[in-house]
Amino acid sequence: MKHILIVDDNDENLYLLRMLLTGQGYTVEEAHNGSEALAQVRANVPDMVISDILMPEMDGFTFCRILKKDEQLRHIPFIFYTATYTDPRDEKLALNMGADAFIVKPTEPAEFLNRIEPVLMANRDGKSSLPREQNTEEVVLKEYNEALIRKLEHKMLKLEEVNSALEAEIASRKQAEFSLRESEERYRSLFENSMDGVLLTEPGGNILKANPAACRIFARSEAEICRIGRDGVVDASDPRLPKALEERERTGRFAGELTFLRKDGTKFPGEISSVIFRDAEGKLKTSMIIRDISGRKQAESQKEAALEEIRKLNEDLEKRIGERTAELRSTIAQLEDLNRVFVGRELKMMELKKRIAELEGKT
């Protein structure tokens, strides 16, 4: 049974490799960096090493170079399996160091096995089946340094990108915080200076905050209003209250009129607009904007009384006009009767005078 040492500083990568290889009948040993792996190789020589490159303490390139310089260990097949060093020049360096294969993560399991199994088969006699011409130490070190510089430049570029993104995010958050502060200041200004009463409440009826206008309307301090809650400021006997609460729970809002209570127990009519919302912590809250409409209701009542008085005066006037009209009609009828009598008498006098004249003419 072939024994494979896998080297990676990422536990998840080690787990995936271990599951793949043990599933194919290999025995697997693990190490988290080159130093740890080197000690394990010297204690128990494996049939193959599969190593990452970018690792703490000792990277994969250094581990491979040390292994390939050791006459007792250089025959061990060495495969790089990396996700960070993917440049063709990195692969060339790996092969120049003596690696038998260079595989880029991620690779499909079947393809990965197809890459490592020929290497194991070629080395079944304990010797490398494909001896390669090794470059001089100076050339290898030069290529190694170049690879490190490329990786450093890549990391610096990535770091600049991350820093730019972070700066943009910080600027965005500062703008959001500024906008939030502005919004909070506007809300505070509206809350404090509103002519209408404003209550911050919970759906169950607890009152959390009350603005100065609400304190004036209810003739109570904010602490008192918060202590007595909704039942202390809204008239529970108002038949409209249950329907208002049901509509707000169903639709998330309510607007209408209700009866409210002052500290001395007197009731007064008010317009209310209430909505349900979630605060920054996701908790349900409600707001209530209340306007005392006692003056308006009183004015409406006075207007109705005045209109009723005018209506009564009109009825009385119409009655008197009717009575006077009837009197005038009666008088006119009498005058017409008198006029007819008078005319009749005049006609008779004229007839009488005519007869007298005729008689006088005959004599």
Domain boundaries, the chain: 3-134, 137-193, 195-292, 307-363
Range list of H helices, the chain: 11-22, 34-43, 60-69, 88-97, 109-122, 137-193, 212-218, 222-228, 230-233, 240-251, 294-362
pTM (two decimals): 0.44
- Single-letter residue type at 106: P
At 41, list the tokens.
């190789």
For tokens 């759906």, the residue is 203
Local structure of residue 134 (DSSP, 8 states): P
Nearest to 84 by CA among 147, 31, 133: 147
Averaged pLDDT score across all residues of the chain: 85
First-to-last alpha carbon distance for the chain, in angstroms, is 186
Cα 106 to Cα 56, 82, 86, 95, 151: the distances in Å are 21, 8, 11, 20, 19
At 220, list the tokens.
């109570």
pLDDT at 33: 94
How far is residue 46's CA from residue 67's CA, in Å, rounded to a whole number? Answer: 12
- Asked: is 3-134 a CATH 3.40.50.2300 domain? The reply is yes
Residues of the chain with pLDDT under 70: 125-157, 159, 176, 178-184, 187, 363
CA atoms within 13 A on the CB side of 235: 17
The verdict on whether omega for the bond into residue 212 sits within 30 degrees of 0, i.e. cis, is no
Pair 262, 171: CB distance under 8 Å: no
At 59, list the tokens.
């990277």
Pair 105, 82: CB distance under 8 Å: yes
Tell the CATH superfamily of the 195-292 domain.
PAS domain (3.30.450.20)
280 membership: H or E segment, kind and range: none
pLDDT at 269: 95
Residues present in the chain in total:
363
pLDDT at 130: 40
